[in-house]
A and B are shown apart, each in its own frame.
Chain A
Amino acid sequence: MPGKKDLYIESSGQVCVSCGACVGICPLNCIYLDEWRIGFDEEVCTRCGICVRACPVGAISIG
């Protein structure tokens, strides 16, 4: 995606604890929690970084 940095959500459970903190805080409602897996809408996400700060275990990175 031109102009956008990569947002990476580690959703395999190796880091992510599937708590939904990122889902609840995302101002654009573009992160979703399936039963266990976290995903996000690449198009809608603006890489604002709020989810990175809200994640208690550091499973989300932008770079």
Chain B
Amino acid sequence: MAISTDLKCDVLVVGAGPSGSMTAKWAAKNGADVIMIEKRQEIGSPVRCGEGISKSWLADVGITPSSRWINVEVEGARIYSPSEKVMEINEKHAGNEVGYVVERDAFDKALAIDAANAGTTIHLKTHALDVLRKDGRVTGVKAKQFGQKFEIHASVVVGADGFESQVGRWAGIPTNLQIRDMDSCLQYRMTNVDSDVRYCDFYLGKCAPGGYVWVFPKGDGLANVGIGVQVSKLHHPAEVRDYLDRWIAQHPGYAKGKKIDMVGGGVSISPPIKQSVADGVMLVGDAARMIDPLTGGGIANGCIAGKICGEVAARAAKSGRTSKADLMEYDRRWRAVLEEKLLRNWVAKEKLVSLPDETFDKIIDVLSGVRLEKLSVLNILKAVRERYPEVTQEFENLL
């Protein structure tokens, strides 16, 4: 039924991706009256993602793995250097995109169902057009559904509106990205390819400047074959597509495949944002630039922050204390969990994107031959120093 009157709630979540649903669920569980709006007609579709997630964090945020959304459980990752030397990394150490390859549309729906079961009201095909403000604070959004405009008044508005986030910009929270802090991505879902269901594969170097080519297996000869390239390294229209098509053409196991789906998208590879809350408003997930700048994975961080966001939003709304200072509890808590790693991986990414192909080859060559007890930057540097001291010269201070 179409909405013909203004609505009112404690917590309004804009966007029903994983971060939004997680926020809505935990806000509802903590006693808030929650509305979540989604601009599309179907949650989770079209998919805009490589569909790889790690496992370790799921239980902490209350997600139970389900065969409804798991395609494949991988053993680990394989990292390919430019000359295709390869190193294997166990799933536990492989970063936040390796563990399960999921069916993202089913995953997103499962999380939205959790949010709904916790008491969230969901409105589909509902766009936010702007935020409502009173005395400089955000008090809701102007929305539109089936051509009908109305207002949704809320004690707290949560912007979970993804990479192209508008809520933050409307609310005056700076989320702008430098072009070196964004990867432009394209992915084909392909059938009849020679992917190995035991591994998520990553190809580094000049095949994808400032990013990588990924192959995430989905079973039965199906795989997501995608690429991310740093925007500062792109100069011509559709260059990302050219890079991906070239890589596929050069790999017979994939060149013989057939494309059944195409996905585009932007991924932030930036340092953490300086501000995630303002009076009456909070940002979470890709909208808050929480994507891991090294791996490009955003789901784990978005869900971890979403749980905190929901808890803080509910308490703030119930107590009527929703100023920026009150909402800073969320900012502090997500930073305590995520910020150090985001920063460290951003520094590592900055270094990696400047490495020439020969250096990648040397590093992967060394790592493919040693068994590291624990995969850490320090252990990697030590191993590389033994064979190629010239490569690690710049890192002597770390060693």
Interface residues of A (CB under 8 A from B): 17-25, 27, 29, 32-35, 50, 52-58, 60-61
Q: Tell whether B69 is near chain A: CB-to-CB under 8 Å.
A: no
Q: How far is the CA of A22 from the CA of B186 in the complex (A)?
A: 13
Known: A17-B262, A24-B266, A27-B176. A54 touches B184 (CB 8 A): yes
Nearest opposing residue in chain A for B39, CB measure: A35
**CB closest residue in chain B, given A32:** B166
Q: State the CA gap A20–B48 with chains docked (Å).
A: 10
Beta-carbon contact of A19 and B48 below 8 Å:
yes
For window 215-267 of chain B, which residues contact chain A by CB distance below 8 Å? Answer: 231, 234-241, 262-266
User: Which of under 10, 10 to 19, 20 to 34, or 35 or more describes the interface residues of B?
Assistant: 35 or more
- Inter-chain contact B166/A56, CB cutoff 8 Å: no
- Who on chain B is nearest to A58 by CB? B238
Q: Known: A20-B163, A35-B127. Contact between A56 and B39, CB under 8 A?
A: no
A residues in contact with B48, CB < 8 Å: 19-20
Closest 8 CB pairs between A and B?
Answer: A58-B238, A20-B164, A19-B264, A21-B266, A23-B164, A58-B237, A56-B186, A56-B240
Report the minimum CB–CB distance from B15 to chain A (whole Å).
11
A56 touches which of B40, B265, B268 (Cβ 8 Å): B265
B165 at the interface (CB under 8 A from A): yes
Q: Chain A residues near B268 (CB, 8 Å)?
A: 24
B238–A19 touching, CB < 8 Å: no
Residues of chain B within 8 A of A23, CB atoms compared: 163-164, 166
Shortest C-beta distance, B193 to chain A (Å), equals: 20
Q: Which residues of A have CB within 8 Å of B176?
A: 27, 29
Pick the contact of A20: B179, B238, B239, B265 (CB < 8 A). Answer: B265
Contacting residues, chain A, for B335 (C-beta < 8 A): none
Given contact pairs A21-B184, A25-B177, A29-B169, A53 touches B264 in the complex (Cβ within 8 A): no
B162 at the interface (CB under 8 A from A): yes
Q: Is the CB of A54 within 8 A of B262?
A: no
Q: Which residues of A contact B177 (CB under 8 A)?
A: 24-25
By the criterion CB–CB under 8 Å, are B165 and A56 in contact? Answer: no
Q: A25-B182, A54-B182 are in contact. Are A20 and B162 (CB under 8 A)?
A: yes
Residues of A within 8 A of B40 (CB): 35
Option from B166, B182, B241, B265 in Cβ contact (under 8 Å) with A58: B241
